[in-house]
Amino acid sequence: MKAEDLKFIVKEKYGDIANQSKLFNQSSCCGSTSCGSEVDYTIFSDDYSGEKGYNPDADLGLGCGIPTQFANIQKGDHVLDLGSGAGNDCFVARAIVGETGKVTGLDFTEAMITKAMENNKKLGFTNVEFIKGDIEVMPLPDNQYDVIISNCVLNLVPDKTKAFRQMVRVLKPGGHFCVSDVVIKGQLPEQLHKDAEMYAGCVSGAIEMDDYLRIIKQAGFPEITIHKQKEIAIPVDVLANYLSKEEISNYQNSGTGIYSITVSAGKI
């Protein structure tokens, strides 16, 4: 599938997700309807309820970590959130940077930008903004941000090399990023990679972990810290949408795994 087609699928899917409930999104593979609305378990998202600045209206249950916990954001920082959705991580970051800082959310889905702006209007923050744009070609100036965060988004970007190079460009010298994302250890069954719904559901866009870390280094971030990694146990009834019983057994015994990781690195 061409990159343009994948972007179209993600944009359409997340446009729909913007108007769905957190409960539905949590129970269906990062919002992908391919898992059905009857599933009663959370596959990816972490619990934000104890985070300062948390706003339930902005939490669509689409994350795979809490990058702000490890991002070393300081009061007065200018923070950029890539794939900001309804604004969840932006509002948590705003609680850290305070009145003297600034938070910018970037998302290429119109419905998400609208929802985030509505949430921000209710909160009355004047130092939080949301901008529509593509992570591969950010409509943002060079050397602008102290910290970049992102949560379960970069795996959906077709050209991750472009994304991380853009991050180098917009970070200030000495700035850094901290992202939570989905990666694979081993060989994911081909059917999961090919299925467009699973792609928009945060799994098939994921790449092998070593490749992911290599892309980060080659983009210009030489020192990477892995703060957290957690295996995502995909339930059998979800795998059954894509694999036969024999294939499921082979997959479970192969050592292959899908992981959420939280990593950071700095710009020299």
- The model's pTM: 0.86
Residue 27 confidence (pLDDT): 47
CATH C-level class of 3-266: alpha beta
Residue 56 confidence (pLDDT): 93
Tokens describing residue 161: 């090399």
Q: pLDDT digits over 254-266, tens only?
A: 888 888 999 999 9
Q: Around 102, how many Cα atoms within 13 Å sit in the side-chain half-sphere?
A: 9
Sequence spans of domains, the chain: 3-266
Residue 192 confidence (pLDDT): 72
* Residues 164/80, Cβ–Cβ less than 8 Å: no
Among 158, 152, 180, residue whose Cα is nearest residue 32: 152
Residue 190 confidence (pLDDT): 78
Rounded to a whole number of angstroms, the distance between the first and last alpha carbons of the chain is: 35
* Residues 104/80, Cβ–Cβ less than 8 Å: yes
Phi, psi of 47 (to 5 degrees): -90, 115
Q: Give the C-alpha separation, 170 to 184, whole Å.
A: 28
Residue 63 confidence (pLDDT): 87
* Residues 224/216, Cβ–Cβ less than 8 Å: yes
Q: Give the C-alpha separation, 57 to 55, whole Å.
A: 5
The runs of H, that is alpha helices, within the chain are 3-17, 22-26, 88-97, 110-123, 160-170, 190-194, 196-200, 209-219, 236-239, 245-252
Residue 196 confidence (pLDDT): 53
Residue 22 confidence (pLDDT): 60
Residues of the chain falling short of pLDDT 70: 1, 6, 8, 15-44, 193-204
* DSSP secondary structure letters along 140-186: S-TT-EEEEEEES-GGG-S-HHHHHHHHHHHEEEEEEEEEEEEEEES
Q: pLDDT digits over 13-71, tens only?
A: 776 666 665 655 544 444 444 444 333 334 567 899 999 999 999 998 888 899 999 99
Q: Give the C-alpha separation, 114 to 130, whole Å.
A: 9
| The 145-151 sheet, strands edge to edge | 128-132, 102-107, 78-82, 145-151, 171-185, 257-266, 224-232
